[in-house]
Structure 1
Amino acid sequence: MPPPTIAVSFGNALLSSPRWCLRHIRHTPQWSGKWPTVSQARQLTTGSPQLEVDSPQPESPRPPRKVRTLDPTKLTPSDYVDFSARIHPSVIFVTQSSDPDDPSNTLLERTGADVTPTGFRDRRFPPNTAGFLYYHIPPYSPPLAGELRFRITPSPDPANFSEGSDLLMEHGVRWTRPLIYMADKGYTGVLRLLLQDGLVTPQLLNIAASAADTLTTTDYGRKIDFRRTALVSSFRRGFHFRVGPYNGLCMAIGTDTILKKCPKHVASFRVPVDDIRGSVQYFPFRGSMICCFEPSTLPEHAGRRVVVLRVLRLLDSDPIRPVPPPNKHEYPLSKLRPREGQLLMTMRQGKVQPWSVDVDRDTGRPATHVGMGRMLRILYENQELYGSPPEPFF
């Protein structure tokens, strides 16, 4: 986490300028009604339907990559970087000096950082990963949900930015570095540049740093793996989710709050076990998908704040497959099977029904207890402040 003096010094310099503002970069991808397959998503980011899977070779030296802005409206050809087939490409983030002995503010500060290619099988960035790093706040989300992205473009000309496509990970979701992740992971140069560009405020960085302190481990003492963490900041924002015994971690991002929860019992239910007295949690299916939370419009939920889960796309890399029950009973697997475009189903009291959470049901629990309801209430709070997208996006 960068020292507080960094944020304060940059904050004072920027706040004294009449151009100080917090920019919300809005871009809502159009919902075509059908998500691309993983192979199509991979081809969008690599130019090839296949990824190179050869053993890593020593990287040849390349000229230093220098980035002077993360604001898409200020990009120049010199901000163009090439990460193709690199394992840990280094980037130098150039900012104006905050040295009080430099009143003209002409000195430059250069801070380097390694960019990690998480989300790719061979731990390298795919071929043809050339373009611009930029900062973006997802639509209908608070500033705390901002993230660093990579836009692949056909040339170093910033005019081609809108014609490019964002770098996608193996499962078809954007490669990102969330602000809450960068707040304490050695991204000092990025944070300085965000402050200089007016994309964040010192107050926002303080909130992100405080939140990062609480997100270092899960409730079970394990270190958080952001590659397997679903970050949600609005309804209908798609995220990667795996049904089965381990679902990863889910984080809901609010205006000044981040809550985490391990949704370990999603789409599962308890069943009796033959020959013993008792029951176990049964996960009828395993596999991965892209899904999103939605406010329920079902008649049985009328007048209440209930959240459901919609399946947007099934992933070929980890297909949905049935799991035999731990007893001799038969269960309606055809009705429980996750299907694209449909709500995720489960069984309650012996009936097949959509998985759902009443966000106001656990209001009487202690503040230290973070249930799914308390976490998902953040999405309703964000909806009141920032609106809600009419269609799914990711």
Structure 2
Amino acid sequence: MSYTVSSKGPVPGPFPPATHGFLYFHPDAHNPLQSQIRFRVTQDHDPTRSFSSGHDLTYGSGFTWHIPLTRAAQSPKLREMLVRDGLIDDALVAQLQARPLSRLEFYRLKRSVSVLDQPFIFDLTNRTLSLVVRVAGQVRRYHTDGPLRYYLGKDKYLVHEAGSALCRLERSTLPQHAGRRIVVMRLLKILQPPKRCSDLPRMCNVSVPAEGELFAFGQRAWYRDVDKPGKGNEILRLLYDAPDDGEQASGQSS
């Protein structure tokens, strides 16, 4: 068990100083396969007294440190403890063991969502928005043109050459989208300061929004209509129609 310290892949490292507390099971009621083991940081070693006042261990990006249940089930000892304590049953164990666990899935955890408003890390230099969507018992890959490209006639320009941010998709409440099922994208936190490309046309009006604001092309919000035809919108529809967890899921690697 280790604390991943690299944003490029699973590089083990030491836990932060004075990290002490308790491992606990965090179930996903809507998708049990996406349940997690998290670490609760507490002031002392009495869980009945300090657990509720503690906080989940996080990475610097704000994501919650966790062991995915899919990985925990690969450990006979952890699997035995989870079954013994009634946290998972034999039927779920069978599903976990039947599901192939690829290394690619681990690398993509920072761009994986199972509810619509789940935060993910977006590389501001990417031409596309690419996510792994785990919902309704399915694992799908969602790709669409990113919100940070500038179009001038037939030419397309990448706006930034550096930068990353914590973002989320969400249901639009904008007046112009009333009566339609529209998804927009909000920037939550800048992780690496953005750096604009030097060869952009002077009239380029695409930029990184302020923290808490929506991505937009000029004055028009970047959006996707989930009811339009197409494979990408079909995947967004699954997220749009999925029940919310009641909390913003943040169990991702940084």
Contact kept? 2:5, 2:12, Cα under 8 Å: no
Name the structure with the higher strand share. 2
In structure 1, distance between residues paired with 2:238 and 2:91: 20
In structure 2, distance between residues paired with 1:248 and 1:361: 18
Q: Which residue of 2 aligns with 1:195?
A: 83
In structure 2, distance between residues paired with 1:244 and 1:147: 30
Contact kept? 1:241, 1:247, Cα under 8 Å: no
Among 296, 300, 317, the alignment partner of 2:172 is: 296
Q: 1:123 deviation in Å?
A: 2.1
Change (3 A) 1:306 1:161: same
Which letter does structure 2 place at the counterpart of 1:260?
Answer: R
Which letter does structure 2 place at the counterpart of 1:292?
Answer: R
Contact kept? 2:26, 2:37, Cα under 8 Å: yes
In structure 1, distance between residues paired with 2:68 and 2:12: 22
Q: 1:248 deviation in Å?
A: 8.2
Q: 1:149 deviation in Å?
A: 0.7
1:157 aligns with 2:38: no
Among 344, 356, 361, the alignment partner of 2:215 is: 344
Contact kept? 2:108, 2:132, Cα under 8 Å: no
Deviation per residue, 1:220-264 (Å, 9 max, x gap): xxx34446522322233333332222778522222422223356x
In structure 2, distance between residues paired with 1:134 and 1:247: 36
In structure 1, distance between residues paired with 2:24 and 2:115: 21
Q: 1:343 deviation in Å?
A: 1.1
Q: Which residue of 2 aligns with 1:64?
A: none
SS in 2 for 1:191: helix
SS in 2 for 1:319: strand
Q: Which residue of 2 aligns with 1:355?
A: 222
Q: Percent same amino acid among aligned pairs?
A: 29
Change (3 A) 1:227 1:252: closer
Which letter does structure 1 place at the counterpart of 2:205?
Answer: P
CA RMSD of aligned residues (A): 3.1
Contact kept? 2:160, 2:197, Cα under 8 Å: yes
1:124 aligns with 2:14: yes
Q: 1:122 deviation in Å?
A: 8.0
Which letter does structure 1 place at the counterpart of 2:166?
Answer: I
Change (3 A) 1:356 1:127: same
Flag the structure with larger Rg: 1
Gaps of 5+ in 2: none
1:167 aligns with 2:57: yes
Gaps of 5+ in 1: 1-114, 218-222, 366-370
In structure 1, distance between residues paired with 2:123 and 2:71: 22
Which letter does structure 1 place at the counterpart of 2:181?
Answer: R
Deviation per residue, 1:16-75 (Å, 9 max, x gap): xxxxxxxxxxxxxxxxxxxxxxxxxxxxxxxxxxxxxxxxxxxxxxxxxxxxxxxxxxxx
Q: Which residue of 2 aligns with 1:320?
A: 194
Contact kept? 2:82, 2:88, Cα under 8 Å: yes
SS in 1 for 2:4: coil
Change (3 A) 1:301 1:224: same
In structure 1, distance between residues paired with 2:222 and 2:95: 33
In structure 1, distance between residues paired with 2:213 and 2:40: 31
Contact kept? 1:253, 1:378, Cα under 8 Å: no
In structure 2, distance between residues paired with 1:234 and 1:117: 25
Aligned pairs for 1:1-12 within 5 A: none
Q: TM-score, normalised by structure 2?
A: 0.79
Aligned pairs for 1:25-44 within 5 A: none
Change (3 A) 1:279 1:181: farther
Contact kept? 2:125, 2:161, Cα under 8 Å: yes
Q: 1:176 deviation in Å?
A: 1.2
Contact kept? 1:143, 1:255, Cα under 8 Å: no
Which letter does structure 1 place at the counterpart of 2:45?
Answer: P
Change (3 A) 1:291 1:137: farther
In structure 1, distance between residues paired with 2:114 and 2:93: 17
Q: Which residue of 1 aligns with 2:163?
A: 287
Q: Which residue of 1 aligns with 2:142?
A: 261
Q: Which residue of 1 aligns with 2:187?
A: 311
In structure 2, distance between residues paired with 1:281 and 1:207: 45
Q: 1:141 deviation in Å?
A: 4.3
